[in-house]
Chain A
Amino acid sequence: MSSDAPLLEVRNLKKHYPITEGVLKRQVGNVRAVDGISFAVERGETVGLVGESGCGKSTAATSLLRLEEPTDGEVLFEGRDITEYDKKELKRFRREAQMIFQDPTSSFDPRMSVGESVAEPLTVHGMRDRERRRRIVKDLLERVGLSADDIDRYPHEFSGGQKQRIGLARALVLNPKLIVADEPVSALDVSIQAEILSLMKDVQTEFGLGMLFISHDLSVVREICDRVAVMYLGEIVEFAATDELFENPQHPYTRALLSSIPQPDPTKRGSAVELSGDVPSPSNPPSGCRFHTRCPEVIPPEGYDFEQKTWRSVMDLRVRLGRDGVNAEAVREFVASESGQEPESVPADRVRAEIRREFDIPEELSDPRAEEVLSTALRHLANDEQAEGRELLAEEFETVCESSAPELRRTPAGHVASCHLVSEAESNAVSTPSTGD
């Protein structure tokens, strides 16, 4: 294909792991670690992939390099789909794309000297001349800031930062066009992080590498990336140029992540957005927008008048009802132990008040119609009629966030984001957010 195809283009990549049960390994479900992500990396460009741990970043990396077979989707490398490659083509591709790993300790074979480790890709690809391999490795070790004499030393003799330099050397030795760095500095001290990042930057500029930089740390991403894709639960929720993303985040999840970066300026502190609840399980992701179970800006139901914060609290109650349920008996016992009463003698309204307190819901909602729905539902809960309570709330307080999944759209700010809040602007859905501008 033509050379103006991006270096790497990922289209609707999916990686699902089957959940099996019993001796016969019957498949009972899927862990949707990566569930349809699309992005592109140009030559000489660094693209960041950020998200909480468990959101599928690393799986995305291993599947797009075909270290694991992707379940679905296409990965175009210089315009050719690597998921179609046969063994020989794949081995050739391995020369073009390399990986840097998170854990500097585990990423080197303790039984091999670092020289052997760095030279291993050369040997694998057929360089038989041992002396030449040694010359190349010595040269490379010096270029990543180590000494040529380190070639015969073993990994345990190096510090984490040094090992990450060696890891970079190993990734470079085949002269690749693409480097996938999976949390390369997360295991390092902050002072060392800066050194490694600037080394990676230098190397990238020198060789015009395309780089996919995976991290959970936005401040690191800001240092090194040209564009950033934000991942949540196996999906990309926002994709934009780094400056744009940091200045004008469009997706509530991005805003929450950004606010978690420590602020050196004391006057700007205190605005941290706190995400409620845990990351849902990728084996059973929430319906609609996957973030709606935790989103601080989740859209209130039509026809009711909610304060945003209160609505989030009510949603928390709903999420809990949908997942684990609220056990009235346990609440009653808790109240009893707090007030020194017998559990049987705790009145129902105390139980209802306790549930409100637990979820931070005010004693009375400002909208009387909403209040009526809520108190009816709470009455059900206090009577241990969970199903009724849950259904009532689900029916009355249904939000667009849970009923329909937002598509990735170009936002007015020029980003690509998937959120119902930004979709209305001037929307045509973007199928492949391959270019950010």
Chain B
Amino acid sequence: MMGGEDYRDRFEDIDWDDMQRSGLDSLTTQTAGFLASLGVVALLLVYDYVVVANDGPTFTTPFEWDVTQLDWLLVVTLLTVVFFAVYPLYDNPRMSRRYWREFRKNRAAVVSGVFLVGIFGLGLVGPLFIAKPDLNVLAQYQPPVFLSVPESTVGTCVGPVSDGMCHGTWQYPLGTTGQGKGIMKSVIYGMRVSLEVGLITPLIIIIIGTAVGTVAAYSGGIVDELLMRYVDIQLTFPTFFLYLLLLYLYGGTLFLLIVIFGITSWGSTARLVRSEALQRREEEYIQAAQSAGASEFWVIRKHLVPNVSNTVITNASLLIPSLILFEAAFSFLGLGDPTVPSWGQVISAGRSDIDTAWWISTIPGVFLFTTVLALNFVGDALRDALDPRAED
């Protein structure tokens, strides 16, 4: 045995009576920060609904922002992501470096990650600074910049006309729709929609699904039975028709779509997580934690959830693209929120003009395609990076 080094601190010398913690200081920085932020959001919410005049914007400085229900939800979602995904990375740089080292190995995933950060970053801040695309009958079917179409297909050409061809302008870099809405703006607003659909709904699904799945597997017995039979019932529940019904009763809003799908479609996730957790709970490290005195919550949170994260991440990487596509399909069918310009809606708007104004459907289509593809790459690489056994 060696001696005299400065890290010497021996387990025999711990005075445990010193260390009886009280309820309040068992809160970690992480949870405390999260709860405090939620408190701030709640106060702002009260302010918005009680103080601010009806329909007035919530903030006027530094920019005008009328915070909608959906925005509140997005803020809470982002807070959750920041405190439970970003903060641990910041808090434990050793771990983060290792994850990054692993993630970096997948070139396609890095490129996809950068692309997604761009898309979602733009979707997050873009709508704050850019006005919604307007109807403009004087600017129908404008081609994207650097491209030209015969003047006959365009009502009034905004850009220069030469040899009977209408050229695109920087005023509408990606062209316009048949209603004269700028596609660039629509696409940016569409990013916001995809961000909301691709972040809030899966987060709701994953939180509920993981909680139910792990608790059911860990507790077993009557708890397991009740939770899983409820899942059985919920899985037979026709969410699509519920949404249609509510759509006709209250009108379609994106908020409704996100919430309805979030709280009714976690059943299959819960089931997947449970079957994985059932295997994990038989491992000896679970028993080791119990014999160390860890509570049920601790074991589930520190051992069961991390060890089912393969399943969760795989599930999420399938869920997010499919929900984004789902929203696009809904909008395409005209069942979406008519006030929100989502990618699906723009694709739908251009489908009758596909032979004369191909860019209307194609451009948002390309964004949809690349986003979904990038999400799949990133999900794949994340799963590998988070598993220490994948290291060589």
Contact = CB atoms under 8 A, between A and B. Distances in A.
Interface residues of B, number: 38
A113 B294 CA distance: 18
A152 interface: yes
Interface in B298-345: 298, 302-303, 306-307, 309
B8 A95 contact: no
Contact of B11 (A111, A117, A172): A172
Contact of B14 (A103, A117, A127): A127
Given A62-B287, A98-B292, A135-B7, A152 B19 contact: no
B9 A139 contact: yes
Contacts of A117: 285, 288
A358 to B, nearest CB: 40
A102 B8 CA distance: 30
B388 interface: yes
B19 A127 contact: yes
Interface residues of A, number: 49
A175 to B, nearest CB: 5
B119 to A, nearest CB: 30
B62 interface: no
A67 B7 contact: no
Nearest to B391: A154
B293 A110 contact: no
A193 B303 CA distance: 29
A139 to B, nearest CB: 6
B293 A125 contact: yes
Contacts of B1: 142-143
A139 B8 contact: yes
A106 interface: yes
Contacts of A132: 9
A106 B283 contact: yes
A65 B288 CA distance: 12
Interface string A103-133: 1001111111100010011101111100010
Contact of A125 (B2, B16, B387): B16
A138 B7 CA distance: 8
A360 B178 CA distance: 97
A189 B170 CA distance: 74
A177 interface: no
A128 B21 contact: yes
B289 interface: yes
Interface string B54-79: 00000000000000000000000000
A138 B14 CA distance: 15
A258 interface: no
Contact of B291 (A94, A140, A173): A94
Contact of A106 (B284, B293, B298, B388): B284
A99 B288 CA distance: 7
A126 B19 contact: yes
Interface of A: 62, 65, 67, 90-91, 94-95, 97-99, 101-103, 106-113, 117, 120-122, 124-128, 132, 134-136, 138-140, 142-143, 148, 152, 154, 156, 170, 172-175, 207
The 3 closest A-B pairs by CB, nearest first: A94-B293, A135-B9, A121-B292
27 contacts: A62-B287, A67-B287, A90-B293, A91-B293, A99-B287, A99-B288, A107-B284, A107-B285, A107-B287, A109-B289, A109-B303, A111-B306, A117-B285, A117-B288, A121-B292, A125-B16, A125-B292, A126-B19, A127-B14, A134-B7, A135-B9, A139-B8, A139-B11, A140-B11, A148-B7, A154-B389, A170-B292
Given A90-B293, A99-B288, 18 more contacts: A62-B287, A94-B292, A97-B291, A98-B291, A99-B291, A107-B283, A107-B285, A107-B288, A110-B388, A111-B306, A117-B285, A125-B292, A127-B14, A135-B7, A143-B1, A154-B391, A174-B292, A207-B12
